[in-house]
Amino acid sequence: MMTHAGYRTSARHPFEALKRQVPGYFFLMPGFLFIFIFMVYPLIHSFVLSFTNYNFAFDEKPIFCGFNNYIKMFSDSYFIDALRNTFTFSILFFPAMMILALVVALMLDKVGAASPVFRSMIFLPVVVPLSLTGIIFQWILNEQYGLLNFFLKDLLGLGSLAKNWLGDDTWAMVSIVGVSVWKYLGMVVVLYMAGLQAIPKELYEAAEVDGASGFKRIFYITLPNLKESYVVCGIWTIIQSVKVFEQPFIMTQGGPGTSTLVLYQYTYENAFKFLEMGYASAMAYIMGLIILVLSLVNLRLGKAE
Amino acid sequence: MFILSILFIVPFVWTLLTSLKINTEIYSSTVILLPSKITFEHYIKVITQMKEFLQYSYNTLSVTFWTVLGTAILSSMTGYAFSKLEFWGKQFYLTFILLVLTLPYAIYLIPIYIMEDKVNIINTHLGLILPYIAINLPMSIFIMRGNFNSIPNGLMEAAIIDGCNFFQVWRRVVMPLAKPAVATIVIFTFINSWGEFMMARTLSYNPAGQTLAVGITFLRDEAASWQYGTLCATITLSLIPLLIVFLSMQKYFIKGIMEGALKG
Amino acid sequence: MKKGKTLCLVLSLLMLVSMFAVAGGQEEKKATGSQAQAVEEPKELRLVAQAWMLGKYKIEEAAAIFEKDHPGVKVSISKVDNADTTTNMLQWATGKTNSDIALGGSREQAVQYAAKGYIINFDEGFFDDKIKKEDFFPSFLELGNIEGTQYMIPITGEVMFIVVNKSLMKKAGLVDANGKVLVPKTWDELYEFAKKTTIVENGKTVQTGLCIDWGTNFMAYSYLACLQGMKGNFFEEDGKTIDFVSPEAKALMSIWAKLVKDGYTPTDTFADMDAGRTNFKAGKVAMHISAASRWVEAGDLLGAANVTVMPIPGTDKNGSLTYIHGAVIPKASPAQNLAKQFLKERLLDKDFHTYSVNKYGKMSPLNSHYTTAIADEWKMVIEATKKAATTPLYKDFARLDKGMQVELQKCITGRQTVDETSINLKKLIDSLDKTTGLK
pLDDT tens digits, C252-262: 999 999 999 99
pLDDT at C238 over 50: yes
> Which H or E element spans position C287?
strand C285-291
Pick the more confident residue, A20 or A1: A20
CA A39 – CA C34 distance, rounded (Å):
37
pLDDT (tens digit per residue) in C61-98: 999 999 998 888 889 888 887 666 888 888 888 888 88
Counting as contact any 3 or more CB pairs under 8 A, the partners of C are A, B
Compare all CA atoms of chain C with the CA of B199 and give the residue at the minimum distance.
C87
- Asked if B40 is an interface residue toward chain A (Cβ–Cβ < 8 A), one would say no
Q: How far is A159 from chain C (nearest CA, A)?
A: 9
pLDDT at B204 over 50: yes
| Residue B64 Cα to chain centre, angstroms | 7
Task: Kindly state the average pLDDT of the residues A81-106.
Answer: 90
Cα angle: A112, vertex A117, A118; to 5 degrees: 80
Compare all CA atoms of chain A with the CA of C216 and give the residue at the minimum distance.
A253
pLDDT grade for C29, boundaries at 50, 70 and 90: very low
- Asked if C10 is an interface residue toward chain B (Cβ–Cβ < 8 A), one would say no
Longest distance between any two alpha carbons in chain C, whole Å:
83
pLDDT (tens digit per residue) in C421-439: 999 999 999 988 888 777 6
Record: contact C87-B202, CB cut-off 8 A: yes
Question: What are the chain B neighbours of C80 within 8 Å (beta carbons)?
Answer: 205
pLDDT grade for C187, boundaries at 50, 70 and 90: very high
How high is the pLDDT of residue A89?
93
pLDDT grade for A3, boundaries at 50, 70 and 90: very low
- Asked if C87 is an interface residue toward chain A (Cβ–Cβ < 8 A), one would say no
C301 close to C360: Cβ distance less than 8 angstroms: no
pLDDT (tens digit per residue) in A273-287: 888 889 999 999 898
In 3-state terms, what secondary structure has residue C332? Answer: coil
Which residues, other chains included, contact C158 with Cβ-Cβ below 8 Å and sequence gap of 6+? C291, C292, C293, C322, C323, C324, C325, C362, C363
pLDDT at C399 over 50: yes
**Per-state percent for chain B, helix, strand, coil, to nearest 5:** 80, 0, 20
Where do runs of H (alpha helix) occur along C213-246? 219-231
- What counts of helices (H) and strands (E) characterise chain C? 19, 14
CA C361 – CA B225 distance, rounded (Å):
14
How high is the pLDDT of residue C33?
38
The residue ranges of every structural domain in chain B are 1-39, 51-262
- Asked if A108 is an interface residue toward chain B (Cβ–Cβ < 8 A), one would say yes
Nearest to B200 by CA among B212, B191, B189, B190: B212
Pick the more confident residue, A94 or B238: A94
pLDDT grade for C13, boundaries at 50, 70 and 90: low
Instruction: Flag the least confident range among A57-71, A133-147, B155-169.
Output: B155-169
Q: How do C44-50 and C101-106 pair as beta strands? A: parallel
Compare all CA atoms of chain B with the CA of C273 and give the residue at the minimum distance.
B224
Residue A162, judged by CB atoms within 10 A of its CB (0-12, 13-18, 19+), counts as buried
Where do runs of H (alpha helix) occur along C157-216? 166-171, 187-196
pLDDT grade for A106, boundaries at 50, 70 and 90: confident
Say how many C-beta atoms besides its own lie within 10 A of residue B36's C-beta.
9
In 3-state terms, what secondary structure has residue B85? Answer: coil
CATH architecture of B51-262: Orthogonal Bundle (1.10)
pLDDT grade for B216, boundaries at 50, 70 and 90: confident
Task: Kindly state the average pLDDT of the residues B54-61.
Answer: 84
pLDDT at C264 over 60: yes
CA A239 – CA C421 distance, rounded (Å):
35
- DSSP for residue B20: T
Instruction: Flag the least confident range among B96-100, C115-119, C251-255.
Output: B96-100
How high is the pLDDT of residue C82?
67
CA C172 – CA C70 distance, rounded (Å):
57
Instruction: Flag the least confident range among A248-252, B7-11, B145-149, C161-165.
Output: B145-149
Q: Across the interface, which of B29, B207, B224 has its CB nearest the CB of C78?
A: B207
pLDDT at C247 over 90: yes
How high is the pLDDT of residue B165?
76
Instruction: Flag the least confident range among C164-168, C186-190, C364-368.
Output: C364-368
Task: Kindly state the average pLDDT of the residues A143-152.
Answer: 81
pLDDT grade for C195, boundaries at 50, 70 and 90: very high
Instruction: Count contacts between A and B (CB, < 8 Å).
Output: 274
Query: In chain A, positions 161-220, which contact chain C (CB-CB < 8 Å)?
Result: 164, 166-169, 172
Question: What are the chain C neighbours of A164 within 8 Å (beta carbons)?
Answer: 267
pLDDT at A159 over 50: yes
pLDDT grade for A11, boundaries at 50, 70 and 90: low
Phi and psi (nearest 5°) for B230? -65, -40
pLDDT grade for A257, boundaries at 50, 70 and 90: confident
pLDDT at B50 over 70: no
Q: How do C44-50 and C74-80 pair as beta strands? A: parallel
Counting as contact any 3 or more CB pairs under 8 A, the partners of B are A, C
Averaged pLDDT of chain B = 79
What Å distances lie between residue C315 and B237, C215, C220, C401, CA to CA? 46, 21, 16, 22
Q: Across the interface, which of A34, A195, A280 has its CB nearest the CB of B133?
A: A34
Question: What are the chain B neighbours of C55 within 8 Å (beta carbons)?
Answer: 221-224
Averaged pLDDT of chain C = 83
Instruction: Count contacts between A and C (CB, < 8 Å).
Output: 85
Task: Kindly state the average pLDDT of the residues B189-211.
Answer: 84
pLDDT grade for C32, boundaries at 50, 70 and 90: very low
Task: Kindly state the average pLDDT of the residues B71-75.
Answer: 90
pLDDT at B66 over 90: yes
Greatest mean pLDDT range, A143-152, B182-191, C233-242: C233-242
How high is the pLDDT of residue A221?
73
Task: Kindly state the average pLDDT of the residues A58-87.
Answer: 89
Q: Across the interface, which of B110, B117, B225 has its CB nearest the CB of C281?
A: B225
In 3-state terms, what secondary structure has residue C200? Answer: strand
pLDDT grade for B254, boundaries at 50, 70 and 90: low
Query: In chain A, positions 240-299, which contact chain B (CB-CB < 8 Å)?
Result: 243, 245, 264, 267-268, 271-272, 277, 280-281, 284-285, 287-289, 291-292, 295-296
CA B249 – CA B258 distance, rounded (Å):
14
Pick the more confident residue, B214 or A219: B214
Instruction: Flag the least confident range among A256-270, C238-252, C305-319, C366-380.
Output: C366-380
Pick the more confident residue, A13 or C28: A13
Q: Across the interface, which of C112, C113, C271 has its CB nearest the CB of A167?
A: C271
How high is the pLDDT of residue C206?
82
pLDDT grade for B252, boundaries at 50, 70 and 90: low
pLDDT grade for C10, boundaries at 50, 70 and 90: low
How high is the pLDDT of residue C374?
64
Query: Buried (b) or exposed (e) across C38-49, using 16+ Cβ within 10 A?
Result: eeeebeebbbbb
Pick the more confident residue, A11 or B167: B167
pLDDT grade for C23, boundaries at 50, 70 and 90: very low
Q: How far is C274 from chain A (nearest CA, A)?
A: 11
In 3-state terms, what secondary structure has residue A176? Answer: helix
